Amino acid sequence: MSGLENEIRGFLQERGAIRVGFASLETLAGGPPSADLTYVLPEARSAVSFALPLDLQKIRATLAKKSHNAFEKNNIEVNVEATNLSIELARWLEERGHKARGTFANNFYRQEVKGWQRTLPPDVSHRYVTVRSGVASFGWSGNVGIKGYGSSIILDTTVTSVELEATDPIPEEDSYCDRCKLCVTSCPSGFFEKDKETSITLGGKTFTHAARNSYALCFLVCGGFTGISKDGKWSTFSPGRMEVPENATEAELFARLQKAIENYKKWPRRSDGDGGYENVSLKGVNMRLTCGCCQIVCAKDKKARTENYKLLKNSGCVIQREDGDIVVLPPEEAAKEFEKMDPAHKALYTDAD
């Protein structure tokens, strides 16, 4: 590493980054469009990748259904922190005579792409830059993680015109992922394939992870519109009980998503008893982020992952009463309580036809 790379590393680590790496146009060559740094900055030659940690205790609290709001706030705050840090680094580089551009950690997409709402193509893929620069490596789900942290991290990227020395990817034998695939069984929607792989090639290096199904599946569950497991024994922090069909077409799934959104607008304002609040806008809908289980179950090592998975599976099911009160009950009791509710209220959580 030259002096500038070491300065950048120190700059980010002093501000909380747990890993820092560097990628170049050459090491990202041949990748998908979201690996093209020049989309963000036409003069781009390099990218700086970094990761910030999420609060593991707050993750445990939400997996156990003890509190959701604390983790949700932490997730949003760390995303904002990463975005601000990316922009701060860009300004720092500009002060030294280099062109640079910070990026959003999340929720920023290439809206000129036809049908972008269905695939959410980012301006730059933090995952791709991260794995190619050796900050983290792919887990089976396609989330990325770091030994000692798992995938409970938030990524961001700063793009710059200066030529930085690229860092190497993490060797496969040093990956944090041991293919336990608890990420697959922690997803109520079936978004990930259990056995099928997909791959990408970046700068001559090929990376693999699970093949993914329609993004509508993820939108339904991570958007909070439904959250009940297929066996009805546990749920995310969503009170939705809409069934997610296994063999539906893409068009059918997005039609179901649209109906779910319309139903969601009629849900009473949510109260969790821990300061819960709606925070993300989608088509005029204020919604909670109630899942992300594939990411947050995946902890620092196999023992911690197994403990997280047990917390999720034994945490019960969420229902919402007509007054908006969010209640967590054992699965059989939750089902009985739900059946006692007014049919019109129940339909808001189950009816997608």
For the stretch 16-68, pLDDT in tens is 999 999 999 999 999 999 999 999 999 999 999 999 999 999 999 999 999 88
Q: Does 239 map to a domain?
A: yes
Say what the pLDDT of residue 286 is: 59
Q: Do residues 148 and 229 share a domain? A: no
Q: How many domains does the chain have?
A: 2
Q: Do residues 142 and 253 share a domain? A: no
Q: How many residues does the chain have?
A: 353
Local structure of residue 34 (DSSP, 8 states): G
Cβ-Cβ contacts under 8 Å for 122 (sequence gap 6 or more): 34, 108, 109, 110
Burial class (CB in 10 A: 0-12, 13-18, 19+), 230: exposed
| Model confidence at 268: pLDDT above 70 | yes
CA distance 209 to 284: 34
Residue 249 contacts residue 214 (beta carbons within 8 Å): no
Burial class (CB in 10 A: 0-12, 13-18, 19+), 94: middle
Residue 239 contacts residue 349 (beta carbons within 8 Å): yes
Say what the pLDDT of residue 223 is: 85
Amino acid in position 293: C
Query: In Å, what is the CA distance from 203 to each residue of 29, 49, 281, 323?
Result: 5, 16, 37, 55
Which tokens belong to 297? Answer: 């179950």
Which tokens belong to 236? Answer: 């995310």
**Overall pTM > 0.95:** no
CA distance 25 to 28: 5
| Model confidence at 211: pLDDT above 90 | yes
Which tops the pLDDT comparison, 207 or 289? 207
Instruction: Please choose, from the candidates 50, 225, 232, the residue with its C-alpha nearest in 3D space to the C-alpha of residue 130.
Output: 50
Q: Which of 116, 148, 177 is the C-terminal boundary of a domain?
A: 177
Q: Do residues 103 and 23 share a domain? A: yes
Say what the pLDDT of residue 139 is: 96
Q: Does 222 map to a domain?
A: yes
Instruction: Please choose, from the candidates 12, 28, 7, 326, the residue with its C-alpha nearest in 3D space to the C-alpha of residue 200.
Output: 28
Q: Does 207 map to a domain?
A: no
Give me the torsion for CA of 66, 300, 154, 121, rounded to 10°.
-100
Q: Do residues 268 and 160 share a domain? A: no
Q: Do residues 170 and 227 share a domain? A: no
Q: Do residues 169 and 282 share a domain? A: no
Q: Do residues 131 and 251 share a domain? A: no
Q: Do residues 120 and 244 share a domain? A: no
Q: Which of 152, 177, 202 is the C-terminal boundary of a domain?
A: 177
Q: Do residues 227 and 150 share a domain? A: no
Query: In Å, what is the CA distance from 258 to each residue of 104, 124, 249?
Result: 27, 27, 14
Q: Which domain holds residue 325?
A: 215-350
CA distance 298 to 282: 27
Q: Which of 157, 177, 197 is the C-terminal boundary of a domain?
A: 177
